[in-house]
């Protein structure tokens, strides 16, 4: 079986694993207070060009989202998100578990727009309604689309006018940054938001993400919040070591290499399917590909390939999700294209 | 100034006030464990024809909604409501403050439908999403419309199939029960839902509502929940005494008299405005009337009458909300109609 | 039966009730935005000599405590209280329900001391422990004792050194202010704390307390917090009207009259019992009296008087709690003393 | 520098690391739904002799404690713990963050006793107090002491009489099970409690613990709870793979080998220090050793060894904490003993 199920179906990138093996015997301080975490944080500060930001080694994406939101908002404040946003759609109400509403709004392509923020304020009136205070976006979105520099800048401006924070979920940030057509650099993204995280789990780490908080006030007692939200790892260096390995080498580091590779594999899939006349659900340029195929073909493909069915489409068609990762091989991609070609009866 | 601002702008119905004055010197047990609360609960059990239900004297509507939801749901479970529902639209995220999402869905006339419940389940898939567990409806809705017996029965059936609880917010229940066209009796309503409350504040009480929980399991340790949610009144008899006064006399009690009066005053408003050719926002048959008037007329009316502007409408029109209550006088209603007639330039 | 069960076993002081009756027909704005609430707030600002404080009409004592704590603390911060403090001992974990620990420490006479605050900090070390941030005290305490000016000043100084807030629960504040031996005036108390409430329920109101917040930052969006915590009353004027009636007349207002009367009745009880050789549990100078009597005498007294058994004492003795209120009559007090004299076989 | 700082200062046991390396290229399902997690769970069921229990791969100890407590308790219920218990003393109020009080009681040797449970119920009376519902104990305790079979059985009996759950935090369970003098086997422990966890982080894993829930009702929708509490790892197999490696081989598996080794190293420390006339803080027979040394000696030792100062003792003495782990070498232990001997001026 060949797997396009997810970018977290394999373990760590070999170079990351090597670093874990190499540092394994070391004795370090616990809870992320070690030299590896310190070094990884320093590398990230340099990458984003902000010496004054705060970098936290986090155990996962939901912990990043929820801990930052719980720390940044006062109890009566709420989050604004596209209905397909991860905090609304895939975290079992973990934000609400900390007492905050997620105002979910219908949007196109999984994106939040300045108009949608205005719409949230239409619902908001006075002390009888929870004040919208944080705009949540993912780069890329759940369906693989990316915000342009202009779109993200417009969100920043709207947030400024509405006295809102802008938070970016970067679970697959590597894929967005290295995608064809992307015009928003890491430094620019960092400069536009109040906080964001760089996802490791879906781009070469065993687990772990780095949360970047861009001002002192939002960072106040943040480690207390991590502990309270059950996210402080005893062997915290486990994440620091991995991010050191991921970002060693600057622009040519494993992190960007892995993301570029995944995107390339996705592009081969996309282009090959296009050549076969296949249409797509959405317009992802990142490592998620959503071809729409006849349901019968999908059933056949499932015998040899792992992937998720994404949505039922009209006329007996099914949209499926194919995800590539650091470990996806070109031969696996070609095997998939070949199988589709066969099932569709193309020459 | 004549007020159509709300049904909670005056104090208590005179008969309710008399009861408070009369019982004032009595010494009773605190926290709702007195004979008045016991007696009021017994009257309500008889009215709804259910000796085995549990009746709690509550300090307000939001406390009823939130305390019941917090008691009935496990942490990962969520509430389904129309987007205009009070728990979503007017309680500052008080349900989310207890850790539960309110899934808000667009609906017509402020109503929740079985199809909307299905739609909530479309969002729900597995352990990554909060399980819909309680359907929240108001009778009447925020915009004064009422569920028919058929509609409420269909909701009950859908809830049964989905293993959901059905909860009815009865802040203005008196008005619904006595509205023209209503075909859903109090007993029938009670039999269809798992819990509901009978609103006192908006129908003759100084404050207070009675929450009715229809099975033992949902009622387990409910007084602990009331206290934990800050809703246990030291002088709990204050609510019991009022509900005794409201329900004394069965079908002809103050509660229904007051509601009928408010509805009659609303009907005169509605019919008078219709005769003047005025259109309405929504189709409320209860004590809220939503005429759509030229914005200029609205400005003139505001000089002599209190009411809320409800929504901007096309072509320079504004929908306003007029609310009648136990204390609304026919002469006040006629004065309003006369003023409108004048401003509209009708004979 | 004569009742010494509690100071909330009767309704409102007659002058308070009169005010409710008199204002009943008025139409006012809802949710505490009316002229009565405004006026009552103004009276309180003058009484405490602070024009810049913020006054909120609250529905009860637990809502005051919990709403202020939830508003003032960041999520990882905690409350320090004597183990007998109301927030720890009698609110079903309502503070914890908002996510904050109450650090409960053993203390004498129900009081918190600067040393106990230091002890809380001994438990507190770093990000693995919740930061003590608010000192909770009651004036008077649960067992009726009062803080002297020196004691309260010492707490204030300790709080300043520890960067903590000082909050005073004034459920029975009237009784403390008018107690024999009290040397801490309302103005002084107000000046020493960050927030406190003046209890109405236990001193002449049907329900309601006024929460005073002494700086703008702690008051930020406080009405949002009241609503979110389910404490915003639709007919908010109900509390404003009562506090107008309670504080009309300055130093000689109903509030102080009622408290003085209750204290006088308690003093007669105390002195009468002392003359009979009875010892007391604790040293309350306020409207709670805790005589220690033979268990057999207690059983006899329970035939004609309502009161609570407080604690089992050695040698077959029982401490009971007698509470006096605005409505306690001297003849009731004398009847009790006479009964004790009889059962003890004194001449 | 030689480190006795903690049993989580090094990475994983070499055999655990090998397993991670070996399985790294595999594609598996995410979120703990893979064959490794399934296999590890099966091994644990066999070890504890209970085919019907439920085993969850958890990311850390605090997530185990908090997620189980939040799932098992209704909102008004509370936890009873020794004041030194981890849920009270070292988790930044994470239990309270889910709305539940931890009733902290002073106890000897860090242990909870049946009498302390009774004391918690003395505080508990009725709906004004949060109902004690779960007894929290650690095996071993925070200070390394262990519960005997008789002590744990007495707790179980008390819990049964009080309708309470018994939960065991096994962060260092391996060390307790293999300690000299331990008479409580893993199977017996499992049979006595409602849920417990087997700690991996402090006994050879990079991270991760396995939570065992012993009945279906307490396990209901538990994966929803893990996700909501931010503890569901995308690459969940990471924990499954490690526990497979830890428990491969039954009684002689890496898990017990590693724990036995750590205990042996601790015993050499303990015995060597005893021979030098050193006294100890508490009576830990596990992998934590708490010698009491002159403060001056401690300062000298800190030049060559990492460890924590634990408590100031009288007469210029300081208790320190030495922790051994799977990677502690006998030569490191001997070097420490030799240094102490030298600083104490012993021959």
Q: Chains that contact A by 3+ CB pairs under 8 Å?
A: B, C, D
Q: What is the pLDDT of residue A114?
A: 98
Residue C9 sits at the chain B interface (C-beta within 8 Å): yes
Per-residue pLDDT, averaged over B16-26, amounts to 98
* Interface contact A66-D25, CB threshold 8 A: no
Q: What is the pLDDT of residue C93?
A: 98
* Interface contact A130-C224, CB threshold 8 A: yes
Structure tokens at A12: 């760590």
pLDDT at A250 over 90: no
Domain boundary at C252, C275, C293, which? C252
Instruction: Decide: helix, strand or coil at residue A247.
Output: helix
pLDDT at D297 over 90: yes
* DSSP strand pairing (B209-213 vs B288-289): unpaired
In whole angstroms, what is the distance from residue A219 CA to residue A282 CA?
Answer: 36
- B23 and B53 inside one domain: yes
In whole angstroms, what is the distance from residue A225 CA to residue A67 CA?
Answer: 6
- B227 and B267 inside one domain: no
Domain extent, residue B264, equals 2-6+254-344
CA-based nearest distance D219→chain B, Å: 12
pLDDT at D102 over 90: yes
Per-residue pLDDT, averaged over D9-25, amounts to 98
Q: Which residue of A has its CA nearest to C126?
A: A224
Measure CB to CB from residue A10 to each of D27, D59, D206 and give the nearest one.
Answer: D27
Tell me which residues of chain C have a pLDDT lower than 70. Answer: none
* Interface contact B75-D130, CB threshold 8 A: no
Interior angle at CA A306, CA A301 and CA A310, nearest 5: 85
* Interface contact D221-B99, CB threshold 8 A: no
Q: Which residue of D has its CA nearest to C78?
A: D93
Q: How far is CA B230 from CA A278, C86, C153, C168, D32, in A?
A: 59, 13, 30, 18, 40
Q: What is the pLDDT of residue C250?
A: 82
Number of separate domains in chain A: 2
Residue C228 sits at the chain B interface (C-beta within 8 Å): yes
- B104 and B230 inside one domain: yes
Query: What residues of chain D lie within 8 A of the CB of B75, using their CB?
Result: 70-71, 98, 225, 228
Q: What is the pLDDT of residue A320?
A: 98
Measure CB to CB from residue B97 to each of A93, A99, A102 and give the nearest one.
Answer: A99
Structure tokens at C300: 């006899």
- D89 and D187 inside one domain: yes
Measure CB to CB from residue B21 to each of C17, C62, C207 and give the nearest one.
Answer: C17
Q: What is the pLDDT of residue C125?
A: 84
- B70 and B131 inside one domain: yes
Helix ranges (DSSP H) in D129-283: 149-162, 173-177, 186-192, 216-219, 222-228, 237-247, 254-275
For A16-72, the pLDDT digits (tens) are: 999 999 999 999 999 999 999 999 999 999 999 999 999 999 999 999 999 999 999
Give yes or no for a contact between B164 and B134, defined as CB atoms under 8 angstroms apart: yes
Q: What is the pLDDT of residue B251?
A: 82
CA-based nearest distance C137→chain A, Å: 24
- A220 and A290 inside one domain: no
Residue D150 CB contacts under 8 Å (≥ 6 apart), including other chains: none
Query: What residues of chain C lie within 8 A of the CB of D127, using their CB?
Result: 92
CB pairs B-C closer than 8 Å: 147
Q: What is the pLDDT of residue B250?
A: 82
* Interface contact C230-B6, CB threshold 8 A: no
CA torsion angle C90 C96 C100 C101 (round to 10): 60
pLDDT band (50, 70, 90) for residue B125: confident
Measure CB to CB from residue C128 to each of D76, D90, D101 and give the nearest one.
Answer: D90
User: Best interface-test mutation with D: which of A30, A63, A235 has the largest number of D CBs within 10 A?
Assistant: A235
Question: How many residues are present in chain D?
Answer: 347
- C277 and C340 inside one domain: yes
In whole angstroms, what is the distance from residue A244 CA to residue A241 CA?
Answer: 5
Backbone angles phi, psi at A68, to 5 degrees: -65, -45
For B312-323, the pLDDT digits (tens) are: 999 999 999 999
For D229-259, the pLDDT digits (tens) are: 999 999 999 999 999 999 999 889 999 999 9
Question: What is the sign of the dihedral through the CA atoms of B103, B106, B111 and B113?
Answer: negative
- A217 and A277 inside one domain: no
pLDDT at D346 over 90: no
Query: What residues of chain A lie within 8 A of the CB of C131, using their CB?
Result: 221, 224
Q: What is the pLDDT of residue C55?
A: 98
Residue D293 sits at the chain C interface (C-beta within 8 Å): no
In whole angstroms, what is the distance from residue A43 CA to residue A22 CA?
Answer: 20
Domain boundary at A252, A273, A291, which? A252
Q: What is the CATH number of the domain that holds C277?
A: 3.90.1150.10
Nearest to C232 by CA among C37, C53, C88, C10: C37
For A267-322, the pLDDT digits (tens) are: 999 999 999 999 999 999 999 999 999 999 999 999 999 999 999 999 999 999 99
* Interface contact D75-B76, CB threshold 8 A: no
Per-residue pLDDT, averaged over B195-224, amounts to 98
Q: What is the pLDDT of residue D250?
A: 82
Domain boundary at D236, D252, D268, which? D252
Whether the link from the prior residue into D192 is cis, omega within 30° of 0, is no
Nearest to D319 by CA among D339, D301, D346: D301
Residue B74 sits at the chain A interface (C-beta within 8 Å): no
Question: What is the sign of the dihedral through the CA atoms of D188, D190, D193 and D197?
Answer: positive
- B178 and B114 inside one domain: yes
- B245 and B260 inside one domain: no
Query: What residues of chain C lie within 8 A of the CB of D65, using their CB?
Result: none
The secondary structure of residue B298, as a DSSP letter, is: H
- B265 and B203 inside one domain: no
Measure CB to CB from residue D127 to each of B75, B131, B227 and give the nearest one.
Answer: B227
Measure CB to CB from residue D96 to each of C91, C100, C127 and give the nearest one.
Answer: C100
For D44-92, the pLDDT digits (tens) are: 999 999 999 999 999 999 999 999 999 999 999 999 999 999 999 999 9
Residue A225 sits at the chain C interface (C-beta within 8 Å): yes
Measure CB to CB from residue C93 to each of D78, D91, D97 and give the nearest one.
Answer: D78
Q: What is the CATH number of the domain that holds A26?
A: 3.40.640.10
Structure tokens at C169: 């629960």
Q: What is the pLDDT of residue D347?
A: 81
Residue C99 sits at the chain B interface (C-beta within 8 Å): no
Residue B72 sits at the chain D interface (C-beta within 8 Å): no
Backbone angles phi, psi at D322, to 5 degrees: -110, 130
* Interface contact D76-B224, CB threshold 8 A: yes
pLDDT at B81 over 90: yes
- C276 and C191 inside one domain: no
Q: What is the pLDDT of residue D251?
A: 82
For A235-246, the pLDDT digits (tens) are: 999 999 999 999
pLDDT over 70 percentage in chain D = 100
Give the residue carrying structure tokens 């406080």: C222
For A116-165, the pLDDT digits (tens) are: 999 999 989 899 999 999 999 999 999 999 999 999 999 999 999 999 99
């Amino acid at each position: 079986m060949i797997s396009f199920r997810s970018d977290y179906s394999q373990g760590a990138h070999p170079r990351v694993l090597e670093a874990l093996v190499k540092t394994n015997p070391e004795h370090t301080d616990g809870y992320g207070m070690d030299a590896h975490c310190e070094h990884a944080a320093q590398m990230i500060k340099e990458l984003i060009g902000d010496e004054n930001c705060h970098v936290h080694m986090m155990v996962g994406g939901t912990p990043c989202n929820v801990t930052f939101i719980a720390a940044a908002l006062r109890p009566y404040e709420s989050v604004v998100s596209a209905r397909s946003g991860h905090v609304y759609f895939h975290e079992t109400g973990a934000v609400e578990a900390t007492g905050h509403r997620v105002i979910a709004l219908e949007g196109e392509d999984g994106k939040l727009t300045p108009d949608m923020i205005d719409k949230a304020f239409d619902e908001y009136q006075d002390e009888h309604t929870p004040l919208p205070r944080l705009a949540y976006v993912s780069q890329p979105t759940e369906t693989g689309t990316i915000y342009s520099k202009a779109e993200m800048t417009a969100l920043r401006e709207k947030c400024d006018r509405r006295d809102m924070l802008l938070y970016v979920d970067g679970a697959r940030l590597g894929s967005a940054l290295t995608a064809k057509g992307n015009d928003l650099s890491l430094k620019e993204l960092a400069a536009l938001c109040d906080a964001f995280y760089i996802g490791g789990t879906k781009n070469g780490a065993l687990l772990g993400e780095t949360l970047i908080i861009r001002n002192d006030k939002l960072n106040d007692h943040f480690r207390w919040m991590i502990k309270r939200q059950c996210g402080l790892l005893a062997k915290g260096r486990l994440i620091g070591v991995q991010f050191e390995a991921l970002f060693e080498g600057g622009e040519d580091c494993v992190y960007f290499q892995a993301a570029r590779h995944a995107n390339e594999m996705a592009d081969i899939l996309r282009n090959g399917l296009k050549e076969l006349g296949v249409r797509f659900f959405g317009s992802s340029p990142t490592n998620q590909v959503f071809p729409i195929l006849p349901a019968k073909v999908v059933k056949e493909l499932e015998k040899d390939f792992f992937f998720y069915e994404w949505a039922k489409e009209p006329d007996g068609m099914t949209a499926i999700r194919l995800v590539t990762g650091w470990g996806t091989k070109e031969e696996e991609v070609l095997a998939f294209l070949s199988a589709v070609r066969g099932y569709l009866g193309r020459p």
